[in-house]
Structure 1
């Protein structure tokens, strides 16, 4: 081999070595920029989200939610979450190949390295969380939408308070009243029909907030009762700043209830089943109604005030 040939080979090897070094350095920088975690605790922190491209890779093509292990893939590498895998009858939604039970372990490892924004960022939550802490946070995030408090049917509408107030008024035709005191009259022609009885909801605007007054009939064991209770359209912490009284009576008798309104974060059924409100047995309600006890005529008075 000639001297010139030896020098040329050394030069090529040197260039390749530098190219490998540059590529390795670039890969490390990319990994750092994509997956580096900020030095914060698990409670969440203000900051910017992880790389959007990686975020898109973790988005399930069926439900469009972020995927959590186990993440499945078809033989062609298309991924989807475990929940949607059961929905698509083991057929890849992208290429229609059979899915099988192939795990995408590489994507699961990527997920473990990420910090992501709360899904309710668009509603005002600016916290960033480690990937596996994100779900736990979102279940209790104070910015998450509220469920519609109307329980006369399975209403699936969610949103912020102003949206739900408009929804209750326009779609459910709920009565809206201003003021912190009220006196409502409930009339039912056949009070012996307790199960599936029509219940009523009234919304009060008070102290710049909204309160839902519920009145309905149901059974506690075998005993038919009527119940009135108040729910606050907001979080539990703010609900505890208010108190209310309910009063019902007739013929010189009176029942009074004082309590704290429950947040609409608690479902209507949960509040009702906890019996956290004014409960009137049917016989007593009919006694209060007077007449021949064949028609319910109850007056429920109440007041809401802010605790100091």
Structure 2
């Protein structure tokens, strides 16, 4: 039995939720003071000197960041796996306690690693502890599918997502920078989670997603239209758009900057960053007996000089 340790009653299988890091190998003779590691696979680091084995969590095989924990027998694991393991070492079953592997944390400080999105175009290297923060904002990281009607897990670059939207989600694709859309709903009193089909516009060599849906702000049912840009925030700011809806001599006009699809559909919707039409006004615009929604939304996209 390990000194100061107690045996756990059962072996716990643990699965980390930390993002999976690509494989890497140490490249010699890069600098005299730091080990430079480059990617070459999918499941951790690959090295001739065994450094990768020290920095991989013994449970999930992902790179470990402080605090790095160890059991009395020296088995190391990451913070996420320590929580999931309920203080029981998954390797030897001894109680983990609160032992930090300070020596291993010091080893990590000597490493520099390339971004995990190296294969997608990012060729920068970073100190071990800066790498994770960079990857959360790397401009080469994949985009999430912008389709709002499902919990789609597909990621990729913009051409990949455009093809995916067209082939898998069957979205409407249009060329041009102006649009005139008609939205109809037989029972406008049912607004919860009502989402119309996404429309994608090819404009200025870029793609824009037009969303229209019904939901509630507090207890008030509303309709909302907004545009998202298929690209990053800094490029989205080069464009503006306007939306207009109306009838019977009255109209509502919205003008704004399209949000990047880096922001989720729900985040944009909940921020109310778009054209919002309260149900009573929407029914007034619809005319007739106010028992059916008939809205025509027109819009335009332009590039700022």
TM-score range, shorter chain: 0.7 to 0.9
Kept after mapping to 1: 8 A contact 2:37/2:112: no
One of 109, 114, 119 as aligned partner of 1:112: 109
| Structure 2 residue 117 is matched with structure 1 residue 127 | no
Q: Does 1:306 align with 2:303?
A: yes
Inter-partner Cα distance in structure 2 for 1:296 and 1:81: 54
* C-alpha distance in structure 1 between counterparts of 2:154 and 2:260, whole Å: 17
Give runs of aligned pairs for residues 166-245 of structure 1, distance below 5 A.
166-245=163-242
Judge conservation of contact 2:143–2:158 (CA < 8 Å) in 1.
Answer: yes
Secondary structure in 1 matching 2:195? coil
Quote how far apart the aligned CAs of 1:256 are. Answer: 1.6
Q: How many residues align?
A: 270
Q: Report what 1:16 is aligned to.
A: none
User: Matches of 2:293 and 2:237 in 1, distance apart?
Assistant: 33
Q: Provide the residue aligned with 1:20 in structure 2.
A: none
Aligned equivalents of 2:52 and 2:37: distance in 1?
Answer: 13
Deviations 1:209-238 (A, max 9, x none): 111101011222322111100000100010
Alignment check: 8 A CA contact 1:35 1:114 kept: no
Counterpart Cα distance in 1 of 2:30 and 2:74: 25
SS at match of 1:214: strand
SS in 2 for 1:115: strand
* 1:85 is aligned to 2:82: yes
C-alpha displacement at 1:49, in angstroms?
Answer: 4.2
Deviation at 1:79, TM superposition (A): 2.5
What CA deviation, in whole Å up to 9, does each residue of 1:95-134 have, x standing for no partner? Answer: 5555444432221110122111112212111111112222
- Kept after mapping to 2: 8 A contact 1:285/1:298: yes
Offset of residue 250 of structure 1 = 1.6
CA–CA separation in structure 2 for the residues paired with 1:63 and 1:211? 39
Q: Post-superposition shift, 1:74?
A: 3.9
- 2:287 matches 1:290: yes
Residues 135 and 48 of structure 1, relative CA distance in 2, 3 Å threshold: closer
Paired with 1:151 and 1:64, the residues of 2 have a C-alpha distance of 33
Is 1:272 matched up with 2:266? Answer: no
Secondary structure at the residue paired with 1:111?
A: helix
Which range is displaced more, 124-133 or 153-162?
Answer: 153-162
Q: Residues 46-102 of structure 1, C-alpha deviation per residue, up to 9 Å, x if partnerless?
A: x87499522453233444431101212345433221112222444544555554444
| Inter-CA distance 176–237: structure 2 relative to 1 (3 Å threshold) | same
- TM-score scaled to structure 2, two decimals? 0.79
What is the aligned partner in structure 2 of residue 252 from structure 1? Answer: 249
Question: Alpha carbon RMSD of aligned pairs, Å?
Answer: 2.6
- Closer, same or farther: CA 256–99 of 1 in aligned 2, 3 Å: same
Assess, with a 3 A threshold, how the Cα gap between structure 1 residues 98 and 176 changes in structure 2: closer, same or farther.
Answer: farther
Q: Are the structure 2 counterparts of residues 34 and 98 from structure 1 closer, same or farther at C-alpha, using a change threshold of 3 Å?
A: farther
Q: What SS does structure 1 have at the residue aligned with 2:179?
A: strand
Structure 1 residue 33: Cα displacement: 7.2
* Unaligned ranges ≥5, structure 2: 1-27, 40-44
* Matched residue SS, 2:269: helix
How much does 1:32 deviate? 8.9
| SS of residue in 1 equivalent to 2:222 | strand
